[in-house]
Amino acid sequence: MVALTGLRLLVPVSESVTLRNTVAYAIRQALERTSETGGPAAIHFVYPVSERPTFDSEMEETETARTLLDRVTVWAEEDIGENADEMTIETAVVGTREYLFSPGDYADVLVRYARNHDLGVAVFDPGFSPLGTTPLLPPLEAEVQQAGLEVEEAAVKRERQSPPLVRRATVAQFLTLFGVSYVFYLLLAGSAATYELVTGAISASVVAVALWRVSLTSPVRPVRTVKQLGRFALYVLYLLWEIAKGNLHIAYVVLHPELPIDPKVVEFDAAVWSAISVTTFANSITLIPGTLTVDVSQRRFTVHALTRDTHEDLLAGGLERAVRFVFYGRAAMEIPSPRERTNDGDENA
């Protein structure tokens, strides 16, 4: 393994199944070296834009790159946690003024960026493939290494296309599932009598034993979980307020003599990524009167908005920011709204 000399890393990124693990790997390696040397670390995540037929810097591919880099930033900040003072994270879109096709083209852009920012090591995602199905990584690594940079391929495994039903689990996951099941049982029972406490414990134990290797998809981190629960409690209050406002707005529309409706179907890519955050966002949209989630494909949302105000509120991104706050923390709220990301005020299909 190449030593991460100088703690200044260049990490080229593209959409891949191993990207999330590569981000975690780079952060972990940098933190380990920081604890040894005591010096600050810096990681630059860069997205090389490929095969540009024009010099239009605002093409769709550039927007895709920025969205991916926003996601990478959220992942990195999540992995850094309380060690933010020990590391600097930078992102950049490179190659926007050049035609990139061969491994040499990509290497030139990456090496130039690394030298301009004093980066000594390039850490490559095993799934890095900006040209789609065209093999690029082995010759690219060789070109970058010949240019004088140290090269390392992230030691991560490619994710399964169909994850196994039964997974390895920890005691923390078992206790979490037991606790959630126990509390839910007592809430349904509406009593804390001895009988309910005993039967609740038995039921929660059965549920935890049966499902702890199935229902939880990632390790439980108590501190992070407590923070997310606290943010979720704030989100519930925010959502209730939005529902109340939506009810008043729809009541006004229904009672207005001219019935001022302006129904539209709005399509946009939401800056939420995990299955639970996408589900939360989609259901929250539906719960607010005046909007209805029609379809969700990965992060592509199709929403019916009844009036112009509900359409504008949706694109303003307040609800989306609130969902990101719950699952990714305060820093994720700074990601631009759907309107800002597209620079298009009329996204109806």
What is the mean pLDDT of each successive set of 10 residues along the chain, which is 349 residues long?
A: 61 89 89 73 88 47 83 88 81 81 83 90 86 67 86 74 54 79 88 90 88 63 78 94 95 92 89 84 94 86 93 92 89 83 50
Q: Are 294 and 265 in contact (CB under 8 A)?
A: yes
**Bridge partners of 305?**
264, 291
Q: What is the third-level CATH fold of 5-153?
A: Rossmann fold (3.40.50)
- pLDDT of 135 reads 60
Spatial distance between the Cα atoms of 296 and 266, rounded to a whole number of angstroms: 12
- Burial class of residue 108 in the structure, from the number of CB atoms within 10 Å of its CB (0-12 exposed, 13-18 middle, 19+ buried): middle
CA 98, 102, 106 angle in degrees (round to 5)? 55
- Burial class of residue 331 in the structure, from the number of CB atoms within 10 Å of its CB (0-12 exposed, 13-18 middle, 19+ buried): middle
- pLDDT of 306 reads 94
Spatial distance between the Cα atoms of 101 and 85, rounded to a whole number of angstroms: 38
**Kind plus residue range of the DSSP H or E element containing 345:** none
- pLDDT of 95 reads 83
Q: Which residues contact 266 (CB under 8 A, 6 or more apart)?
A: 301, 302, 303, 304, 305, 311, 314, 315, 347, 348, 349
Q: Token pair 């790159």 is at which residue?
A: 65
**Token reading at 106:** 């990509």
- Burial class of residue 157 in the structure, from the number of CB atoms within 10 Å of its CB (0-12 exposed, 13-18 middle, 19+ buried): exposed
Domains in the chain: boundaries: 5-153, 171-211, 222-342
Q: Are 314 and 264 in contact (CB under 8 A)?
A: no
Q: Which amino acid is at 204?
A: A
**Bridge partners of 153?**
124
- pLDDT of 242 reads 95
- pLDDT of 272 reads 85
What are the helix (H) ranges across 165-193?
171-189
